[in-house]
Structures are given as structure tokens and as C-alpha cells.
Amino acid sequence: MKIRRPAVSGMFYAGTAGELQEQIEWCYRHELGPGTIPQVNSIGLRRLVAMVVPHAGYYYSGPVAAHAYKELAEDGIFDTAVILGPNHTGYGGPVSVWAEGSWSTPLGDVEVDKKLAQRLLGDVIRVDETAHVHEHSIEVQLPWLQYLYGKVRIVPVVMLAQDLETARRVGKSIAQAGGNLIVIASSDLTHYEPHSVAMEKDSSVIEAIIALDEEELYLRCERLRCTMCGYGPVAAAMVASKDMKGDKASLLKYATSGDTSGDFSRVVGYGSIVIKR
């Protein structure tokens, strides 16, 4: 069985199981976090279709990410998480899926949903493991899922091509695949600008996401020269959500790295956003 080994364990998040569990709990209890550790609602209504979650080091973005995962836990049980991330490394094809085997973290192994991955193939999504080997945007989401659910199944997809047409085709492919899914779009927002500038730009981008208007998202990113790294995965999640009857989006939490580090001169913006039926 193919096993994808961790690339950023001990860097973006703690490198041992005990320390990682403590770190996740710290994120939940942090003053910027939701304040409490959630319990999974096994009889939830499953209204949550998709989430936008940051992927920086847990010290910086973890308290913001915790809001989305608390909402997920309270929503009920899904079968598979389709996790979309930007390709920061440049390796691999335009849109790449790791289609079988498992991904390893300090909390254990996460199974890839081979049948669902196969259903996504045939349009722009291709099997390409090289795109995933060094990429962090999907990996950092896995311990959150493992902490809540223990065993979980995923389909990891990274996007090197993030143009609007590609994002729409990825989103359509996910929606057509069917099943009891949660779509997780992994993205940070503005990179390395003053706190006030980041807040202004990110507010405009978040407004377009909440309106579920992927074309407006691209227009604003271009007009503002926004450095959001995962606009393609976010747009794909928006398209998939609308096809899966998701029609209500809301911002749970926004903060920047300055809010945790105290350095507001060059920050990265983080937002947790959910889309529901």
C-alpha cells in the first residue's frame, strides 16, 4: 500500500502524537479560538457542505482553523473529506490527486478513498503523486480530522492550475461524484503585508466568498493584487457547494499572524468560512 509520509511534521505542527493533541487543544482554547473543545455530533443534520480553512503553522493559524473544525464536529458524520489545496511546490500536473493508499501523520494513518478518487478522474483531475510529496496545504488539515474522528477517509487534490475555468471544472467533478462529502478548501489569505492592508484586502475577498460568487472572487483578487494562495481551491469548493445545494456561507473567524505573534508589520491573513445547505 502506498503511504505518503509527512513533509512538515515537527515544523507546521508538533511532531509527536501527544504534543500534537495538546497543540490542537491549545488552538481550540486559545483566545482567538472557539474557546472549547468540540464533541462530534453523531446524529447531526449534515448541513455543512464545504469549509475554507487556513494552512499555516498551528501557532499562527490554528486558533482560526479551530472554528471551522468545531463547526464540522457539531454538524455530524461525513463519509469522506475531499481536501483541495494550492500547489506551492510546482511539482506535478495542473490538478493532481493522490488516488490510493494512505497518508501518515503523528496521529496515525488516514485512508485515501480510492473509489471516490477514481470518480473524480476524467476531466482536469489526474493521478499524480509527485505533486503531493512536499506539499503542506493538505497535510496540515489531517490532524484536525484525526483528532475529532479517529479514522477518516480523504481524497487529496492539489491545484497548480488555479484559473477560473479549471476551478469550475474541479468543483463540478466533485459535485458529480456524489456521496456524503465535506469539501475542505485549504488556503491562507493576504501574505506579508501590513496588518491594516491585509484586513482591507481580505475583507473584500471574504465578501465575494460569502456571496458564493467565484467570478467576483477572481475579479477582486486581480484588482487588489491579492496574494491569497488558494483562490482556485476556494473557487472550486464554492462551485461544488452550489451544485450540492449549499446556499448559505458565513465567516466564523478572521485574524492575522500578527494577532498571535504580535508582529503586525508583515502578516498573513487567515479565515474560517463555512458553506451550508
Residue 45 CB neighbour total at 10 angstroms: 11
Q: Per-residue confidence at 122, pLDDT binned at 50, 70, 90?
A: confident
User: Would you give the end-to-end CA distance of the chain in angstroms?
Assistant: 36
Q: Mean pLDDT throughout 170-179?
A: 96
Let me know the angle formed at the C-alpha of 102 by 184 and 274, rounded to the nearest 5 degrees: 10
Residues 6+ apart with CB under 8 A from 41: 73, 74, 75, 76
Q: Measured between alpha carbons, how far is 207 from 220 in angstroms, rounded to an integer?
A: 10
Q: Mean pLDDT throughout 253-276?
A: 97
- Match 448541513 to its residue by C-alpha cell: 47
- How high is the pLDDT of residue 18? 98
**For residue 1, pLDDT beyond 80:** no
Which three three-digit cell numbers place residue 221?
A: 483578487
**For residue 44, pLDDT beyond 90:** no
Q: Go through the chain and tell me how many residues it has.
A: 277
- How high is the pLDDT of residue 213? 98
pTM score over 0.95: yes
Q: Per-residue confidence at 225, pLDDT binned at 50, 70, 90?
A: very high
Q: Measured between alpha carbons, how far is 110 from 29 in angstroms, rounded to an integer?
A: 25
**For residue 274, pLDDT beyond 80:** yes
Which three three-digit cell numbers place residue 236?
A: 472550486
Q: Dump pLDDT digits (tens) for 187-220.
A: 999 999 999 999 999 999 999 999 999 999 999 9
Q: Dump pLDDT digits (tens) for 53-63.
A: 999 999 999 99
Q: What is the mean pLDDT of the chain?
A: 97
